[in-house]
Structures are given as structure tokens and as C-alpha cells.
Amino acid sequence: MAESLLEIGNIVGTHGLRGDLKFRAKSGDPELLMSMKQICLRLPTGEVLNVDINRQVLHKGQVLLRLQGYESIDLAEPIVGSQVLLDESLLPNLNDDEYYWGQLEGLQVVDRERGVIGQLHELIGTAAHDTYVVKGRLGEILIPAVHQFILEIDLEARIMKVDLPEGLIPEEQ
């Protein structure tokens, strides 16, 4: 696993005493991890580790992972907060208008009328649809990830073009 690593989610907590870790997907199907034998973790310290998966199970709509070498709560707790990364070649192919979060993070966001409004900073998954968090000169802007607002995504140019309605963006000073 080298430069084609994409963030697919985070370790958000522990479960039980045997080192099970709660995985939260950034977007899409958390069951993606159910067939994986190894993942890459970017620890909160910035260190990157390749770790074998001993066990994965679905529990209340999320995946619990038990990782080789982290089979107790004391060993697993320092991993909480880590990003889960997978090599792009291991990920299922998506439709033309679908993307993995790791492909979108950091894109410059350009509104049709207002020009550059900031960078894509975070993705919030909701029951209805994902929401992009853009941070820039106008502060933090929440953009529903729906075709109505997202005009174009150009991964090569690292730009997302949007057309946002009045009220979604704070009025400029």
C-alpha cells in the first residue's frame, strides 16, 4: 500500500474488553470492510500502520473490528481516532457520479456566482444524504451532497463546482 490510499472512515470507539473497535464509514457501505484481511491506519499521532484484521462483525449497523496485536481494550484504546485507509485498487468501482471521500477531501469549492468559497474539509453522513463541510473566506458552509447543488467534480483539477441558492451561504461582509 503506497500513494493510492483513500480514507474510508474512522475508528470512533471501543466495544467490550477484547479490543473490538467501532468503525464509522465516511460514506457509503460500512460492510466494505467485511471482506478485508488488512487495513491501513493513520493514527492520531500521524503514524501510518498496516494492520491485519482478526475479526470483523456487524453490530447495530456498524462494523466492529478486532486487529492483530490489539486484542485487549488497553491495547485498542490508543487507536481510537485513527483514520482507516484502503488502497484504491481494493475498493469497488463506483458509478461515474460517485466518489470516495478520500478523493474529494481538500477540493477547492467554486460557486457559480460567488467564485471560490473555500475547501472541502469534512463529510457528514446523514440518513437523507451526505453533507459537505466547506471552510473558507465566508466561514463554514454546509452543502447537501445532491445533484441540485453540485454541478461538476473535476478530480484532476481538484475543483468542485457548485450552484448554491440564497440563504445557504452567509452574506458577504
Report, as ranges of residue numbers, the positions in the chain whose pLDDT lies below 70: 1-3, 27-30, 171-173
Q: How far apart are CA 145 and CA 123, in angstroms?
A: 9
Q: What is the pLDDT of residue 172?
A: 56
- Residue 43 and residue 49 in contact, taking contact as beta carbons nearer than 8 Å: yes
In 3D space, the residue among 137, 111, 39 whose CA is nearest the CA of residue 82 turns out to be 39
List CB contacts of 96: < 8 A, sequence separation 6 or more: none
In 3D space, the residue among 3, 1, 2, 25 whose CA is nearest the CA of residue 12 turns out to be 25
Q: What is the pLDDT of residue 158?
A: 94
- Residue 10 and residue 81 in contact, taking contact as beta carbons nearer than 8 Å: yes
Q: What is the pLDDT of residue 80?
A: 94
Q: What is the pLDDT of residue 171?
A: 66
Could you give the residue ranges of the DSSP H alpha helices within 11-96? 73-76
Domain boundaries, the chain: 5-89, 101-162
- 137 — phi, psi (to 5°)? -60, -20
Q: What is the pLDDT of residue 173?
A: 44
Q: What is the pLDDT of residue 28?
A: 63
Q: How far apart are CA 149 and CA 135, in angstroms?
A: 17
Question: Among the CATH numbers 3.40.710.10, 3.30.70.260, 2.30.30.240, 3.90.25.10, which is that of 101-162?
Answer: 2.30.30.240
CA distances to 95, 100, 153 from 156, rounded to whole Å, are 17, 15, 9
Q: What is the pLDDT of residue 137?
A: 87
- Residue 99 and residue 150 in contact, taking contact as beta carbons nearer than 8 Å: no
Q: How far apart are CA 119 and CA 132, in angstroms?
A: 10
Q: Was domain 5-89 assigned CATH 2.60.40.420?
A: no
pTM of this structure:
0.65
